[in-house]
Structures are given as structure tokens and as C-alpha cells.
Amino acid sequence: MFRLVRVSLFLVVILSIALVASMGLNILTYVRLTDEDPIATLYFEPVSKDVFTAHLVSNDPGVSGTYEILGDQWRIDAEFIKLKPWANIIGMDARYQLVRFEGRYRDVVRQNTAPFRAYELGTGDALDLINYLAEWNFLVDAEYGSSTYTDIKEDTVYRVYRTQSGIIIRSEPMPDPIGYEPTMLDDIRAWVSGN
């Protein structure tokens, strides 16, 4: 009888450990497959109707700067390399390179007839070797261009994120200049103005 209780207790402990490990693995899988990393921050100042000065800051070489944007929306493009899900789960992240920043118009007729301006971003060949080796790389799931756009709002700070499958934008209201502690926005403004 005592032996049966010990075996039952041992099985309960083993099953409990297996259950906790399974739950932990599920949580890890969810966290890794939904991982996001901020890669750029920007805000806009109006110059005239449908003309804005964009202040863009990123740790990626050749991306940060001040750009004149024409239109009522903005768009940013990236070359993107999506990895296989199991590579994400073991800690590897998708690869990207920001390549273009531009204004655009919500109205297609205006997009085809109004002034337009686009800027090349980045410093060139960061992904070239990976692109060259991608056909033989067992970690790579797909290579493609990822693009995201949204309306331009003056009192908004935009953050561009790298996900495991592309780039996305999230926005938040610009902080009130009175009664708040210095934030990343102050750092952005100081960097852009050169102070």
C-alpha cells in the first residue's frame, strides 16, 4: 500500500512538472512569435497645406534625419527576411532594412497628379549577403518588401516596429509640453535640431 502511494505521488509530481513545462513552452512560443522591436520614431511639423517636415530617428545607419514630406499620409518601406517559426522560437529574429520613406495622398487622383517626393534610406548592402545566401539558408521562410502607411497628424508621435513578419506603426499623442518630464521625444527633437 505504501509503495502504491509513493508511485502515485511520483506520477503526480512528474505530470505536474510536465504540465508546467508545457505551459512554459506555450508562453515562450507566444512571446517569441509575437515579438516586436521598435526601429524608428518620428513626428511631423506642418509647413503648408500637404507639406510637412518629418523628423525621423532610428538606430539604423543612414535613416535618421529631417525630410520634407508631401501629402496627407506617410509611408515607410523595408526589405524583409522572415525566418521560420522554429527559428523565432529558439531566439532568432526576422531581419529588415529600412529602404524608403515618402509622402502619399489618400485620394488616388491626387496621388497621380500632385507633387510627390520619396527618400532612399539606409546605407546599402546590409542584407545583400543574407539575400544572396537566402536560397540555401534553412532558417529563411520568405524574402519580401514590407510597407506600412498612415495619416499624418501633427500632434502625434509615430513608432515603427519590426515584428516577426513585417513592419507596423503605432502612434501616441504628443506629450503636453507643460507639466511632463523629459521623454524620448525631447531626445528626438534635440537630435534633429542638432542641440
| Residues in the chain where the model's pLDDT stays below 70 | 1-7, 21-22, 24-26, 28-33, 123-136, 176-195
pTM for the model: 0.74
Predicted local distance difference test score (pLDDT) of residue 61: 85
The domain ranges of the chain are 1-33, 37-193
Q: How far apart are CA 147 and CA 79, in angstroms?
A: 9
Predicted local distance difference test score (pLDDT) of residue 2: 64
The DSSP bridge partners found for residue 96 are 80
The DSSP bridge partners found for residue 143 are 81
Q: How far apart are CA 40 and CA 119, in angstroms?
A: 15
Q: How far apart are CA 176 and CA 53, in angstroms?
A: 20
Helix (H, G, I), strand (E, B) or coil at 151: strand
Contact residues for 3 (Cβ-Cβ < 8 A; gap 6+): none
- What cell numbers appear for 188 in the block? 528626438
Predicted local distance difference test score (pLDDT) of residue 156: 92
Predicted local distance difference test score (pLDDT) of residue 150: 95
Predicted local distance difference test score (pLDDT) of residue 13: 73
End-to-end alpha-carbon separation of the chain, Å?
80
